[in-house]
């Protein structure tokens, strides 16, 4: 059974299970604090491909292939794929998954994509619209730089509040039965725009959207922060994370205490890896959730957590036209085994 | 109840209803054969905005606002919005809908977006994941030219197989009860890529995806072409339409007879409006389905039809890198009142 609770939250009473997941990353992410947790570390950022965009596609496909292999499944065994990425017209995804032949719903949620795809896959399996669904996303530092900033060759300088787009991809396989962490609910975010125009400060732009969605989840389901072990955002970075905790306390009267973590501050050693405010990109939270946190949910170390994917929904065109940054955050509640 | 039939089709036994819909267009579309059917014709393509992208956002918002007004609803009355468009990072959508505050799932399906959003909205309402969902999309000739081809000022020549991106948007409101055409089923497409590399010949690239999805719908549900009054694609144009009918006959042994129509060949007078192979763009089929065909479903003139949204999932970057064009088609079965 599926139930809408309030305006944003969908409760999944059949508790669809994440039966397998995988995170694959590039060299820099492999050298970070979570390096040993990822399923594969590709030391060649080009992935033997002729362009950064093709490399990103190969990375997303590698994540899906690895998750399927872990579940001992073939692409034909899945009947739905929810995926997207940061690139214009989502070519990281469409070229990455085209050979798989899985019925496909393309998403655009910027860095919130893993939460969006996981939630949609969970809802589909919960209500019988899919028997086995795949949720996936990717990002690549070099394709994102070309898409959003400047070609690498330009050697652009990055301000301290900037985040580093992770070269990473994550994928999860969801089905009704089977062993694995359960998806309890999905809270869809509303677009928030607080007028931030600095495309180098996306953590600050996205923090209000994360606060809004966390507040909706708790209010609509009558829960409090104490009902969860962790609130994991992806990816606010160091500056956005501080803002989120303050905003929740001041505007929403919600105290996360020490329960907040952010994938963007976890994937790199911020002090040593020169990533300024931390990691970002769809693949950052996707790879961290699909490895590090899935293991903790599987081992029982985490009983219940909220994964809040946050996305900045601007483009270079909108920024060049002087527009502010609309943002969105989606929250998936995951329950350990 | 929701049931998965085969690998691609989802049956919606609760028959969610399209209680209102709207299509809004630009001047050229207003001068076409369907001009009188649209809810609003904007003679100023700029929509009083400072850029083509902002104009597209205004157009998408106008379609949603109009559909809500027809249903005597406010944005707060909807609890889910599925929308997307052609532009990089979907800024036509994200800036268009940000002020509405409706829980939002961003999609990327290129010109298949209206079928994708309609199908997802139908599934959500059918299974109780939403009480009232909005499905919407848009396209704008001038923002699409800048995104995919050349700035208008360049005056680029168009080959005869090219299609003309419609300046148009469509929106539909779906809820469980109420008066209106019903959504019977959704068939999600698989990505097909037959190696077409000519980005001016998207109709040819998309026809195999449309044939694949129509074939899946009929095979998985045990129906034949005679069970439907019409198969409406959006948008294959004149060349792609001919290819689809031939492909279905030769490769899938499915004879559509005279039951095929294409929104891209309907929205313009191909001979008189200098649009080469016909219309395209997410908004083309969205505006035609949400006005012309909804009226026929409401009046009972059409009893059952299949709307097949077709999308070409490439970008300028992938085309410049020599890649072929992956395509997808989603099919929604609509039942008249």
Q: Verify whether the Cβ–Cβ distance A94 to B314 is below 8 Å.
A: yes
Considering only the beta carbons, identify the residue of A3, A108, A120 that sits closest to B90: A108
Q: Please count the residue pairs, one from chain A and one from chain B, whose beta carbons lie less than 8 angstroms apart.
A: 183
Looking at per-residue pLDDT, the higher value among A196 and A301 belongs to A301
Q: Which residues of B touch A147 (CB under 8 A)?
A: 88
- Write out pLDDT tens, residues A74-93: 999 999 999 999 999 999 99
Looking at per-residue pLDDT, the higher value among A189 and B155 belongs to A189
Is the pLDDT at A110 greater than 80, yes or no? yes
Pairwise CA distance, residues A134 & A333, whole Å: 17
pLDDT confidence tier of residue A199, bands split at 50, 70 and 90: confident
pLDDT confidence of residue A244: 97
Q: Verify whether the Cβ–Cβ distance A94 to B326 is below 8 Å.
A: yes
Q: Which residue numbers in chain B have pLDDT < 70?
A: none
Q: How far apart are the first and last CA of chain A?
A: 20
Write phi, then psi, for B312 (nearest 5 degrees).
-100, 115
pLDDT confidence tier of residue A268, bands split at 50, 70 and 90: very high
pLDDT confidence of residue A202: 87
B121 at interface of A, judged by CB pairs closer than 8 A: no
pLDDT confidence of residue B150: 78
Interface confidence, given as ipTM, is 0.97
Helices (H), ranges, chain B: 27-30, 52-70, 91-97, 113-127, 141-148, 202-221, 237-252, 263-266, 282-288, 294-299, 316-320
Helices (H), ranges, A71-184: 91-97, 113-127, 141-148
Place of tokens 């360049």: B154
A312 at interface of B, judged by CB pairs closer than 8 A: no
Percent helix, strand, coil in chain A (nearest 5)?
A: 40, 25, 35
pLDDT confidence tier of residue A158, bands split at 50, 70 and 90: confident
Pairwise CA distance, residues B219 & B5, whole Å: 10
Q: What angle do CA A123, A125, A129 make, to 5 degrees?
A: 90
CA B281 to chain A, closest CA, distance in angstroms equals 13
pLDDT confidence of residue B162: 85
CA B272 to chain A, closest CA, distance in angstroms equals 32
Pairwise CA distance, residues A272 & A274, whole Å: 6
Q: Which residues of A touch B118 (CB under 8 A)?
A: none
Pairwise CA distance, residues A107 & A87, whole Å: 12
Is the pLDDT at A155 greater than 90, yes or no? no
pLDDT confidence tier of residue A149, bands split at 50, 70 and 90: confident
**Worst-scoring range by mean pLDDT, A37-41, A303-307, A319-323, B91-95?**
A319-323
Looking at per-residue pLDDT, the higher value among A153 and A129 belongs to A129
If DSSP codes are grouped into helix, strand and coil, which group holds residue B204? Answer: helix
Per CATH, A2-175 and A182-335 having the same topology is answered: yes
Contact of A168 with A281, CB cutoff 8 Å = yes
Pairwise CA distance, residues B115 & A221, whole Å: 32
If DSSP codes are grouped into helix, strand and coil, which group holds residue A194? Answer: coil
Place of tokens 């952010």: A262
pLDDT confidence of residue B191: 97
Q: Which residues of A touch B50 (CB under 8 A)?
A: 321
Cis peptide before B235 (omega within 30 of 0): yes
Q: What angle do CA A231, A234, A237 make, to 5 degrees?
A: 100
Q: Which candidate, A321, A236, A222, places its Cα nearest to that of A281?
A: A236
Helix (H) or strand (E) holding A304: strand A304-312
- Write out pLDDT tens, residues B220-277: 999 999 999 999 999 999 999 999 999 999 999 999 999 999 999 999 998 899 888 9
Q: Verify whether the Cβ–Cβ distance A8 to B103 is below 8 Å.
A: yes
As a whole number, mean pLDDT of residues A117-121 equals 98
Pairwise CA distance, residues A224 & A239, whole Å: 24
List B105's β-bridge partners, or say none: B82
If DSSP codes are grouped into helix, strand and coil, which group holds residue B328? Answer: strand
pLDDT confidence tier of residue A251, bands split at 50, 70 and 90: very high
Let me know if B72 is exposed, middle or buried by CB neighbors in 10 A (0-12, 13-18, 19+): exposed
Is the pLDDT at A151 greater than 80, yes or no? no
Percent of chain A with pLDDT over 70: 100
- What CATH code is assigned to A182-335? 3.40.47.40
Q: Verify whether the Cβ–Cβ distance A89 to B313 is below 8 Å.
A: yes
pLDDT confidence tier of residue A154, bands split at 50, 70 and 90: confident
Is the pLDDT at A266 greater than 80, yes or no? yes
- What CATH code is assigned to B2-175? 3.40.47.40
The mean predicted confidence, pLDDT, of chain A is 96
Q: Which residues of A touch B129 (CB under 8 A)?
A: 2, 4, 10, 123, 127
Half-sphere exposure of A147 (CA within 13 A, CB side): 30
Q: What angle do CA A80, A82, A86 make, to 5 degrees?
A: 155
B147 at interface of A, judged by CB pairs closer than 8 A: yes
- Domain ranges within chain A, ordered by starting residue: 2-175, 182-335
Pairwise CA distance, residues B118 & B81, whole Å: 10
pLDDT confidence of residue A165: 94
Place of tokens 């527009």: A323
pLDDT confidence of residue A198: 87
- Is pTM, for the whole model, over 0.80? yes
pLDDT confidence of residue A159: 84
pLDDT confidence of residue A160: 82
Q: Verify whether the Cβ–Cβ distance A191 to B101 is below 8 Å.
A: yes
């Amino acid at each position: 059974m599926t139930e809408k609770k309030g305006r944003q939250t969908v409760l999944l009473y059949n508790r669809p299970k994440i039966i397998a997941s995988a995170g694959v990353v590039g060299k820099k992410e492999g050298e970070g604090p979570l390096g040993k947790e990822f399923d594969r570390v590709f030391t060649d950022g080009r992935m033997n491909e002729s362009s950064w965009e093709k490399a990103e596609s190969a990375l997303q496909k590698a994540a899906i292939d690895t998750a399927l292999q872990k579940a001992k499944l073939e692409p034909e065994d899945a009947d739905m794929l929810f995926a997207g990425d940061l690139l214009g017209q989502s070519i990281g995804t469409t070229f990455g998954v085209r050979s798989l032949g899985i019925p496909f719903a393309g998403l655009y949620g910027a860095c919130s994509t893993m939460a969006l795809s996981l939630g949609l896959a969970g809802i589909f399996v919960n209500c019988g619209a899919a028997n086995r669904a795949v949720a996936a996303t990717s990002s690549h530092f070099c394709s994102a730089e070309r898409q959003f900033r400047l070609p690498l060759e330009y050697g652009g300088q990055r301000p301290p509040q900037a985040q580093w787009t992770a070269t990473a991809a994550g994928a999860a396989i969801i089905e009704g039965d089977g062993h694995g962490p359960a998806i309890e609910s999905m809270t869809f975010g509303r677009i928030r725009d607080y007028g931030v125009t600095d495309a180098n400060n996306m953590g600050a732009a996205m923090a209000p959207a994360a606060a809004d969605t966390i507040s909706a989840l708790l209010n609509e389901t009558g829960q409090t922060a104490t009902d969860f072990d962790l609130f994991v955002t992806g990816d606010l970075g160091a500056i956005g994370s501080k803002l989120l905790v303050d905003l929740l306390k001041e505007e929403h009267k919600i105290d996360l205490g020490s329960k907040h973590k952010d994938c963007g501050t976890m994937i790199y050693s911020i002090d040593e890896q020169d990533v300024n405010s931390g990691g970002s990109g769809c693949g950052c939270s996707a790879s961290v959730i699909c490895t590090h946190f899935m293991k903790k949910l599987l081992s029982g170390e985490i009983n219940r957590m909220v994964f809040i994917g946050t996305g900045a929904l601007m483009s270079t065109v909108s920024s060049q036209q002087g527009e502010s940054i609309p943002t969105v955050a989606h929250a998936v509640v995951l329950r350990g085994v």
